[in-house]
Structure 1
């Protein structure tokens, strides 16, 4: 094996769970390179010293094929319709560009994290592929929407199938099938990510510390709450800002210490309303988390797993459907509670937070933490070892 290509969607989560595996390859003398969407992800990978391929295809989806971005998509066909994949010309170019990128990388192994055109490129070029997946993104996993989706939602699968036929590849029945490779690995635990396919490997939580740990002196005997709001603004609106406004209002003048972790600049009006018992820090690492009594966050996959690993209950305010899935699962396994955005008052948020300080919540999540520790998951090293076996088998 000489070169591994990582195709990522975007955001911080895929970086945190794939860079540790990339480092395993590099330690073995194997070159790696990445593709990711979004300036933040590109710059972060570059700061970590990892090569990034730039997606410079000028073609964009036609306006008449776009549907408005929305937080509560029902399945991946609906989600990718928001990305412009209803436009066949754009989607065909999107796939061609990815095939060309992988060819230029001279990759002999593909790792895809929510990157269907990377999986297609691997199939077209005959390169073995690993899909990093979650339950709600896998064809045999628990679905994103816990109910019956509405009728007549947009579907991009017919467009994709036209493209697959042009490359003489088998058709798919839904987009979740392109979140699967020759080997599927969930960087998670089966409690959070149940998948009804025993070929899927649960590697356990995979993450990395990005920053130097802050020294946080919490007052003796006082409750400590860590808040991670995610992005202040995203395609769903001002989700992070709404969360922080609710937190500031709920905990003002209360006998708790609240630490908000965000590297984004906050509006002056919001900073003026920041209570004295709330401290804002630019970053946090997982090993900070165990110092706190409660973790309020946006329901991200990595945040959920960090809370489990550190034995801290989560109060989640999920800002889109995948995070709602995570929040529902966390509640189902006894690791936390959730509230939907814009459905609660500050008094409700404070009351539920205080209720979650009861020992039963901490005890349940600590029992789960201890159970996970005893399994001795391999994490990034396990992904690397399976990748070597896959590539060796492919060469035979």
Structure 2
């Protein structure tokens, strides 16, 4: 089996789980190529996964305090996609009416389709997997190749309805047949979570419901994380590997791979000196550490390839509430403090609250509540025990293996049907 994986970048969550999936597929004998933006290739390549460079939308820049987000003018939650793929103007001013989503820019779509189709042909792909890269299933169908979409159910509330409204007409204008553009999700939808947490009954938008009816199968596979949680070193070993004091409390702060939480990140960075712990601040690839020159963290990192190792070493994880960050924290049994900037992040963080393993703090209250809240959570032994109990259950469910096995088995069955 030859597999092409197409993650959207930015942020890192899609690239991280696509890389993990690629390694699982390769371990089962598949030939895999990850097509991704040039500055994201180092993640899969560091793990021995072949890559190809694809053109991608540029990341949205850090937004100063009090300024309007470049993605703030479309629909509720707009610009708040974990990918920075919301509104904010066309990438390069393509033909047709001005889109609300940057993803619908016709110049971007034209280039994306051409590059993806060329990659599919070059690899001789049997199946294409798209992680939020909405053109992936379209390119696959145009090449007569089976495809699947990896997506959380929150995607069907935002931004997928806007994708249908904006991207589908743009594809029509580019000459993509209606029967192809109308199947943006491909043949299979994989939800990288458990149905108890992301039930399909929560998908209510009429456009999303109609789109889901076009696929052959919808399958919950469990969280797809950078590593199998059961293989991540425990707290003591993680601290040894990272050179941390084995006894001092550790707080890890990581507010996502995009720059959309920059204002909150900057506020938190200036408060970390008052937190009763060794503090580690990860800015993300799209925030230059020079912008945080006045930070008070004990250690500042721009990016890390060892997010789960740092999480395992921590006594408290401060996150924006992205799905990958929340699931890594819960699966490794660590208390969580979420500073969500939009609805999808609040929904993800709400899981930690519902499980008794964390709290949510409104970014508007960070300046005066962050330090006392973080210190209180660090001292809460009941919270720590509850988080450990949650991790003991969740760590046993690794979605990457289930997803990889299903991709290969269903592709082989489809190949048999084609020959028949």
Is the 1:88–1:159 Cα contact (8 Å) retained in structure 2?
A: no
What are the Cα deviations for residues 100-141 of structure 1, in whole angstroms up to 9, with x where unaligned?
332232111111100111011222223222221112124xxx
TM normalised by structure 2 equals 0.72
Q: Which residue of the other structure, out of 175, 181, 201, is the alignment partner of 2:220?
A: 201
Q: Distance in 2 between matches of 1:308 and 1:392?
A: 35
SS for the counterpart of 1:123 is helix
Residue 90 of structure 2 corresponds to which residue in structure 1? none
Deviation at 1:217, TM superposition (A): 0.7
Is the 2:321–2:346 Cα contact (8 Å) retained in structure 1?
A: yes
Residue 192 of structure 2 corresponds to which residue in structure 1? 187
Q: Which residue of the other structure, out of 214, 217, 226, is the alignment partner of 2:252?
A: 226
Is the 1:165–1:171 Cα contact (8 Å) retained in structure 2?
A: no
Q: Distance in 2 between matches of 1:253 and 1:380?
A: 39
Q: Distance in 2 between matches of 1:253 and 1:267?
A: 21
Residue 165 of structure 2 corresponds to which residue in structure 1? 155
Residue 380 of structure 1 corresponds to which residue in structure 2? 400
Query: How large is the RMSD of aligned CA atoms in angstroms?
Result: 3.8
Q: Distance in 2 between matches of 1:134 and 1:28?
A: 25
Residue 134 of structure 2 corresponds to which residue in structure 1? 116
Residue 332 of structure 2 corresponds to which residue in structure 1? 310
Mapping of residues 51-70 of structure 1, within 5 Å:
51-55=50-54, 68-70=70-72
Q: Which residue of the other structure, out of 334, 353, 356, is the alignment partner of 1:334?
A: 356
Q: Distance in 1 between matches of 2:148 and 2:221?
A: 13
Q: Distance in 1 between matches of 2:108 and 2:18?
A: 28
Residue 43 of structure 1 corresponds to which residue in structure 2? 42
Question: 5+ residue gaps in structure 1?
Answer: 59-66
Is the 2:358–2:383 Cα contact (8 Å) retained in structure 1?
A: yes
Is the 2:7–2:132 Cα contact (8 Å) retained in structure 1?
A: yes
What are the Cα deviations for residues 179-201 of structure 1, in whole angstroms up to 9, with x where unaligned?
x3322222233354333399322
User: For the structure 1 residues 333 and 4, does the alpha-carbon distance in structure 2 shift closer, same or farther, using more than 3 Å as the test?
Assistant: same
Mapping of residues 1-396 of structure 1, within 5 Å:
1=1, 3-10=2-9, 11-37=11-37, 39-55=38-54, 68-70=70-72, 72-73=77-78, 79=86, 81=99, 83-88=101-106, 90-138=108-156, 143-144=157-158, 155-160=165-170, 162=172, 166-169=176-179, 172=182, 178=184, 180-196=185-201, 199-208=218-227, 213-218=241-246, 220=247, 222-231=248-257, 234=259, 236=260, 239-240=261-262, 242-249=264-271, 251-262=272-283, 266-267=289-290, 270-274=292-296, 278-281=298-301, 283=304, 284-341=306-363, 343-357=364-378, 358-373=380-395, 376-395=396-415, 396=417
Question: 5+ residue gaps in structure 2?
Answer: 58-68, 88-98, 202-211
Q: Distance in 1 between matches of 2:385 and 2:23?
A: 35
User: For the structure 1 residues 274 and 372, does the alpha-carbon distance in structure 2 shift closer, same or farther, using more than 3 Å as the test?
Assistant: closer
Q: Distance in 2 between matches of 1:245 and 1:183?
A: 42
Deviation at 1:286, TM superposition (A): 1.4
Is the 2:131–2:150 Cα contact (8 Å) retained in structure 1?
A: yes
User: For the structure 1 residues 390 and 75, does the alpha-carbon distance in structure 2 shift closer, same or farther, using more than 3 Å as the test?
Assistant: farther
TM normalised by structure 1 equals 0.76
User: For the structure 1 residues 371 and 169, does the alpha-carbon distance in structure 2 shift closer, same or farther, using more than 3 Å as the test?
Assistant: same
